Structure 1
Amino acid sequence: MSATQVPGPGANVAVRRKEVGLSQVALARRAGVSVSLLSKIEVGDRALTQGVGAALARAMNLTLDELLGSAPEAKLNELNYAIRRFDIPGEPPVRPERLPSEVDELNRLRWNTELSKVLQRLPGVLMRVTNHAHLTGHPRAWGLVADVYGVIYWLAARHRWMHLAELATLKQRMAAERADPIAAIVAARDDAGTFLNSGDFSGGLAIIDRAIVRAESSLVGRDREFGLGVLHLRGMTLAGRLRDKQATRKHIDAAWRMAEEIPEEMAKHGMQFGPEQTATHVISTASDMDQHRKALETADALIRAGMTLPANRVAPVYMNLGRSQLALGDQDGTLESLEKAWAASPEMAAVHPTSLELTRVMVSKHRRSNERLSRLAQKVGIAL
């Protein structure tokens, strides 16, 4: 089965390469990867990592999200209308006292990865919190606006709608500046996320480094530990994608130090931080840096301890576990991890590039009929 017949980020590499008129040898040389690795990625014998993907994208003058491909855009007219009216006060909400609970419900849906319900509710909630913030001018009201834009960024990033993600973080930063220091820290974390999603890892690290300096000088107590923890998790991911061992270790150590001061997972402005969140990021970063045994050991310890994380973190744990299992040749373990990711969050698994890529490679490698793999392949449109 050729790579272009099945969905998944790696399948797009050959398509894009041919569109720009490059041979495998020429692209591999430009990207600094081996021809053998590129060939295996294109035919589905190796999974495309985001680090290699970023190098290939730069070599073709693309962003990472352009190389990975995005999910089809939903009807975003109502949401775009609400975003455009950020600076235009409208009718105040009838029941403003309900706005915090409405935003809490949005975040609950986000943490449960109910993407379609999040999109359905976003326009109305965004209009109400924005109008209320204009009416009162209160920092807490603008904090709610920043929180809703954080949800928009998350939804857009999941689908790789990067123009929407970048617009959301711009508005998020503007609202956060009128809110409180933690809202500004979360906005910086999401801003760095747009760099992460586009493959500009060094640019994202620059955003994080600047935000860390700001957090260290402006936050105290639990807010300081939470804010710095959130930033170091994002820094860990970015440094890992760059394969900068020294910077990665710095962010990992700092994140664990902050997590030690927060014994249970803590949530502020739609963001969560604590020991379990730190472990999930260590698993992902270890996979990015080909430290697959470490990823497996960390994941095993986290799972054995009994995860209390929401679905938006549980599913990536199993996806990243699957990445390392596949790299170590454990196809049965990879299939089991994929199934658990789907069980935890079917809507995320249906659009997440790691889920799609693992399924593509598993289909390419599997030479015999397998009912379990067939079910997963059918969900993402792959014919065995």
Structure 2
Amino acid sequence: MSQVALARRAGVSVSLLSKIEVGDRALTQGIAAALAQAMGLTLDELLGTAPVGRADESSLTDLNYVVRRFEIPGPPPPHPEDLPYALAELNAHRHRTELSAVLRKLPGVLADVTHHAHATQSPDAWTRVADTYSVVYWLAARHRWMHLAELAVMKQRSAAERAHPIAATVAARDEAGAFLNSGDFAGGLAVVDRAIVEAQSVLRGRERAYGLGILHLRGLTLAGRVKDKATAGQHIDAAWRVAEEFPEDIEDHGIHFGPENTAVHVISTASDMEDYRESLDTAADLIRGGLTLPATRVAPLHMNISRSKLALGDRDGALASLEEAWDVAPEMARVHPTSQELMRVLTSLHQRSNPRLTRLAIRAGVPF
């Protein structure tokens, strides 16, 4: 396929495609999805999956084994009272973006919560199973192991059918995330729309606000990827309205929601829609007010700040923000496609004499 044919089929200009190819412009997730569709690929196939370290291979094998045996009961754990603490510890590793630690502990926790749920058949137990599969989805999505991510959300939905109603809302949010990570943004929006209607009818009180909030955050991200400003604006407005019910961000079911995380998502979506100045202004206000979010949210924030600065021609500022992301969450930065793409463009544009970029490239394992 010629460059002209690919650009036409993907709906992008030949000039933009050429600049992306030679490293003058960063490849956004939205354009990457359009290129993938034009070539008959999924987004993860175009971007490639993160490799599994030798030390993590056995843990990934164990995780796949436990996921596969979801409906096969095993011996219940001897101390079920410890399960909430085990899941909380797992989410603590997640929030610190300690990917290897999550992978190492996840098979055992997942097996224990699943066997306990089969033994008790209680909604509390099945909600814990669904929450643990949310961690599986998150880990798989970070590495772009999309087969595992999609399998995880299927099991999560199945567990949610036996759990408290909020579990179905979280599962829908993660299912829409699987569509997002695969580049099917329209499909993800359809999942979000359906889940919002359901959440409005079955959830009550603070749980309802939280559930709607995390769904609207997913919706605004999906709409931003296709540059649908009207739909993105609707989700942004709705997310801010719900966020007003939370004086500060909360963490529930392993996912944060509140004013700060809403701002983080708005910053990312503004950058997706090429409103770079708005993105940076919102980010400046957020950082000035002080951040309480974990590394899982702060690192992508700095990546999106870097992305906006780079688009506005501030290469040194982009490098500084990317360094911030690496300092906050090195394991995530190593596998995150935005971080990888920023490194590709910065090493293409900068001179080799830049010692800070050279150090970061060595840290990232990028030839430079």
TM-score normalised over the length of structure 2: 0.97
Give the 3-state SS of the residue equivalent to 2:256 in structure 1.
strand
CA distance, structure 1, for counterparts of residue 8 and residue 249 of structure 2: 45
- Gaps in structure 1 of 5+ consecutive residues: 1-21
Q: CA RMSD in A?
A: 0.8
Give the 3-state SS of the residue equivalent to 1:272 in structure 2.
strand
In structure 1, the residue matched to 2:97 is 113
Residue 268 of structure 1 pairs with residue 268 of structure 2: no
Residue 52 of structure 1 pairs with residue 36 of structure 2: no
The residue correspondences of 1:143-158 to structure 2 (distance < 5 A) are 143-158=127-142
CA contact (8 A) 2:227 2:273 kept: yes
The residue correspondences of 1:1-384 to structure 2 (distance < 5 A) are 22-73=1-52, 74-75=56-57, 76-384=60-368
Q: Letter of the aligned partner of 1:37 in structure 2?
A: L
Question: How far is the alpha carbon of 1:133 from its aligned partner?
Answer: 0.4
Question: How far is the alpha carbon of 1:379 from its aligned partner?
Answer: 2.2
* Deviating 4+ runs (over 3 angstroms): none
Q: Letter of the aligned partner of 1:148 in structure 2?
A: T
- CA shift digits 1:20-49 (9 cap, x unpaired): xx1111101111111111111111110000
CA distance, structure 2, for counterparts of residue 292 and residue 47 of structure 1: 13
Give the 3-state SS of the residue equivalent to 2:251 in structure 1.
strand
TM-score normalised over the length of structure 1: 0.93
Question: How far is the alpha carbon of 1:368 from its aligned partner?
Answer: 4.2
- Gaps in structure 2 of 5+ consecutive residues: none
CA distance, structure 2, for counterparts of residue 368 and residue 98 of structure 1: 52
Of residues 72-81 and 299-308 in structure 1, the stretch that sits farther from structure 2 once superposed is: 72-81
- CA shift digits 1:223-282 (9 cap, x unpaired): 111000000000000011111111000000000000001111122211110000100000
CA distance, structure 2, for counterparts of residue 370 and residue 383 of structure 1: 14
CA contact (8 A) 2:352 2:358 kept: no
CA distance, structure 2, for counterparts of residue 23 and residue 277 of structure 1: 42
Question: How far is the alpha carbon of 1:326 from its aligned partner?
Answer: 0.1
Question: How far is the alpha carbon of 1:105 from its aligned partner?
Answer: 0.5
In structure 2, the residue matched to 1:11 is none
Give the 3-state SS of the residue equivalent to 2:70 in structure 1.
helix
CA distance, structure 1, for counterparts of residue 252 and residue 352 of structure 2: 48
Of residues 259-268 and 107-116 in structure 1, the stretch that sits farther from structure 2 once superposed is: 259-268
- The size of the alignment, in residue pairs, is 363
CA distance, structure 2, for counterparts of residue 369 and residue 178 of structure 1: 59
Question: How far is the alpha carbon of 1:167 from its aligned partner?
Answer: 0.3
